[in-house]
Structure 1
Amino acid sequence: MQLLPRPQMNNRLRLKLESEQSNEAPNLEVVKPSQPHRDRRERFQLEAGRVAIFIDGANLFYAAMQLNLEIDYAKLLRCLAKERQLVRAYFYTACDSTNDKQQGFLLWMSRNGYRVVTKELIQFPDGSKKANLDVEIAVDMITLSKHCDTIVLLSGDGDLAYAVNSIAYKGVQVEVVSLASMTSDSLINVADCYTDLEEIKGDIQRNKV
């Protein structure tokens, strides 16, 4: 078999090609290594259509106390849902059946767009009372994630991080909303975006009469 020499590029052609190359850098879009939380949040809210909202009542109550915030729950629902199609909005809270004021509030919530989930307070030997609804929140989020594009969780409880991570693996966007000082890092780390409750304080404040 006869080996032929490798063809060489004409020197004049090579000089012409090299002279045509621009010394300017290519026009590439520079992507910043980290975008602000607000930019990410707005992008997710535009992309996601159906949304389900889960509110940890106790966490929200204590956060509102820290912010000296009186919440308008109709405004809160609109603020969290944005322009998206609301599938469900759940409100979880401990319940004292002897507290008429609380019962009236929960009745109003159930008639104004919320599905109220309650659990009776349990009194401990030291006199304290508590009702933990983490299991109910986790189960309902996982169940409803099959029917929506976005889950909004208003809670800072790190015990919910495992459920949030499981939902994210299904391709559902998860937004966490809570007061920064009361929010577990483990929950923020598994969420697609996080909103400090203080950022939206003005949007959910009850108008003073």
Structure 2
Amino acid sequence: MSILFSKEKDKKIEKRYINEKVAIFIDGGNMFHASNYINIKIDYRKLVNFLAKDRWLLRAYFYTGIPQGDFPEEMKKQWKKQKSFLNELKNIGIKVRTMPLKKTPEGFIEKGVDILLATDMLSLAFRDAYDTAILVSGDSDYIPVVEEIQQLGKRVENVSFKKTSSYELRNVCDKYMILDKYIDLFTYVDKQIELKKQPKITFVDKIKEILKNIIKGNKK
């Protein structure tokens, strides 16, 4: 007897492709604002592995703006931290791509980072360097480049946090993922919290453990 209706009829089946090549493009500014909002620290090595899964990874790219030339004294400490962070990304194999910050009356802002990311996505697609692009951003400005890449026969997956996610961008991509559901899989563990979770061993517990070891020794 055939089943005409099923409770799982709306369950989405994820298609897997043989020897699928993926490239990951991370919008650093977008991720920075989202992770700050929910107060987490991202382990990018874990994030890249989580997104690539068992697929063949061409490379992961990280895009951000950096200060150049003369900049205020208060930015120097911040830049020192950022430089150390970017060096860490390079050490784990993530390609860091940067653009100089633009000075405005309101302060320094990122300018041209999204264009650099979009250009790399398109360029690598034209060269047939990947089958699937994983765009880690919630910025709807990427919609035109996503559609162009799809016209080249490539797939685009969108990954973002709920806070910065664009419905329009998710809708145009072949697949999307909201990272809030998987935070434990790619964030640094707070060692202080882990220590608090561990049960305290009392003096009585230590005595019991010593006696238990003595009894085991005597039985042998």
Q: Same fold (TM over 0.5)?
A: yes
Render the CA deviation track for 1:70-95: whole Å, top value 9, x for unaligned. Answer: 11111011011111111011000111
Alignment of 1:143-162 (within 5 A): 143-145=123-125, 146-162=128-144
Q: Which residue of 1 aligns with 2:168?
A: 186
Aligned residues: 179
Structure 1: gaps of 5 or more residues: 1-25
2:120 counterpart SS class: helix
Native 8 Å contact 1:94 1:130 kept in 2? yes
The answer for the alignment partner of 1:168 in structure 2 is 150
Contact 1:96–1:102, Cα closer than 8 Å, also in 2? no
Q: Structure 1 stretches (4+) deviating beyond 2 angstroms?
A: 26-36, 126-132
**Following the alignment from structure 1 to structure 2, what is the Cα–Cα distance between the partners of residues 167 and 35?**
28
CA distance in 2, matches of 1:28, 1:59: 45
Instruction: Report the counterpart of residue 89 of structure 1 in structure 2.
Output: 60
Are residues 1:47 and 2:27 paired? no
Structure 1 residue 183: Cα displacement: 1.8
- Aligned residue runs from structure 1 range 93-112, under 5 A: 93-96=64-67, 98=76, 99-112=79-92
Determine the C-alpha separation between the residues in 2 that align with 1:172 and 1:96.
34
Structure 2: gaps of 5 or more residues = 69-75, 192-220
Q: What secondary structure does 1:107 align onto?
A: helix
User: For residues 83-140 of structure 1, what are the alpha-carbon distances to aligned partners after superposition, in whole Å with 9 as ceiling and x for unaligned?
Assistant: 1111011000111354222111111111211110011111102334333311111111
Q: Secondary structure at the match of 2:188?
A: coil
Q: Quote the residue 2:111 is aligned against.
A: 131
Task: Indicate conservation of the 8 Å contact 2:134/2:159, yes or no.
Answer: yes
Offset, 1:161: 0.5
- Is the contact between residue 138 and residue 164 of structure 2 (CA under 8 Å) also seen in structure 1? yes
Is 2:176 the partner of 1:198? no
Q: CA RMSD of the aligned region, Å?
A: 2.2
Structure of greater Rg: 1
* Shift, 1:47, TM fit: 2.2
Q: TM-score, normalised by structure 1?
A: 0.77
Q: Is the 8 A contact 2:47 2:186 kept in 1?
A: yes
Provide the C-alpha distance between the structure 1 equivalents of 2:162 and 2:115, rounded to a whole number of angstroms. Answer: 23
What is the percent sequence identity of the aligned residues? Answer: 36
1:62 and 2:33 matched: yes
